[in-house]
Amino acid sequence: MSKKILANDGIDAQGKALLEKAGFTVITEKVAQENLIQAINEQKYVGLTVRSATKVRKDVVDACPGLKLIGRGGVGMDNIDVDYARGKGVEVVNTPAASSHSVAELVFAHLFNCVRFLYDSNRQMPVNGDTQFDVLKKKYAKGVELKGKTIGIIGFGRIGQAVAKIALGCGMKVVAYDPFLQEAIIYLDIYGVTEKIAVKLHTVPLEKLLAESDFITLHVPGGKVITKKEFDLMKDGVCIANAARGGVIDEADLISALNSGKVSHAALDVFENEPTPKKELLSHPKISLTPHIGAATEEAQERIGIELAELIISKLS
C-alpha cells in the first residue's frame, strides 16, 4: 500500500517528522480545490489532512477510492462529509483537544480588548494621539474590570471549559449552557501549586444564561444560536464573543443590537462569508476583529501536528 499523505493545508514540522520516521511520504504543496481529486488519484495518496480551507465532500470521497483516511487538524469538521466518508470505509479523525487553550486565550484577548477599548484606541492613537491626547483619554476612561462579572459560556466542551478556567482565574462567575452536559469539573493549574484545584460547575438553561451574563462567548460546532430573540433576553450592555463558527450569531441581528446599545461590544474571530466578511462588521466602531486565528499559535499547531501524525500512524501503519 502507498504511504503517501497530502497535508493540503499544511502540518507542523514535528508532525511531519513523525510521519516520515514511520515511513510515510508527506507532501505539503497546496493543491487547489478544483484539482484535489485528480491529485489524490494521480499521486496515489492514502491520507489527506486539512484544516478549514480544503473541503472534502461526497464528490471527493466517491472519486478517490484509494483514499483511506481524512484528518482534520483542529476541532470542527463541517468542511468534511464525515458520516458519508465513514460509511464508505474511510477513516475520519480530528484533534479536538490540541487548540483549546489557544482559542480560550484569544477569547480573553478580545474581552480585555473590548472592556478597555483597545481595538479603537490602537486605531486612533497613531492618527490623533499627538493632537487629541486629552480627548482620547476622556473617550476611553470608562473601562470596566472582568473581575466580579458573569461570563456565560454557550457550549461547554473542551474549549468552553478552557475558557472557564481563565475566567475563574480572573475572578469571574461562570455560567454555562450545553444540551449534552449537566455538569463538569474544571481543574485549575496554578504555577507553583502542586495540587490542582477542582471546581464543579453545573450547566443552566440557555434563557438563564442569556439573562444573567455580562459577557457571552460561544463554543458550538454550528447552527444559528443567537438571533434577535436571544439578544432580547440579554442584559443591556452585554459583550458577546464568537471564536467558534461563522453564522452562530446572526450578523444582521448583531449589528442591530450593537447600534441600539443592547450589545456594548462584540468580538469576532469568525464570519459567515469568509474570506470576505461584511464591510458593516469590519468597519463597525464597537467590534474587535481577528481573521479566524483561534488555533493559530505555535504551541497549538505543534500539538495538532503531533496528534494528527500519531492518529495517522495508528490507523494506516
Pairing state of beta strands 263-268 and 238-242? parallel
Are β-strands 183-188 and 197-202 bridged in parallel, bridged antiparallel, or unpaired?
antiparallel
Name the one residue in this structure whose C-alpha cell is 480627548.
135
Helix (H, G, I), strand (E, B) or coil at 189: coil
**Looking at the chain, which runs of residues are DSSP E strands?**
4-7, 25-27, 45-50, 69-72, 91-94, 150-154, 173-177, 183-188, 197-202, 215-218, 238-242, 263-268, 287-289
86 is catalytic: no
Give catalytic status of residue 292 as yes or no.
Answer: yes
Edge to edge, the sheet with strand 173-177 lists 173-177, 150-154, 215-218, 238-242, 263-268, 287-289
CA 255 → CA 117, 240, 258, 278, distances in Å? 18, 12, 5, 11
Q: Of 91, 274, 302, 310, which residue is the catalytic one?
A: 274
CA distance 317 to 311: 10
Catalytic residue, from 91, 292, 302, 310: name it.
292
Q: What are phi and psi of 275, to 5 degrees?
A: -95, 25
Told to judge if 274 belongs to the known catalytic residues of this protein, a careful annotator would answer yes
CA distance 120 to 98: 32
Q: How far apart are the first and last CA of the chain?
A: 10
Return d(Cα 136, Cα 79) in angstroms, integer: 44
Which residue among 72, 245, 265, 284 is the active-site one?
A: 245
Largest CA distance in the chain: 70
- Quick one: cell of 36? 484535489
Please give the grid coordinates belonging to residue 144.
470596566
Query: Within its chain, how far is the Cα of 110 from the centroid?
Result: 13
Active-site residue list: 245, 274, 292
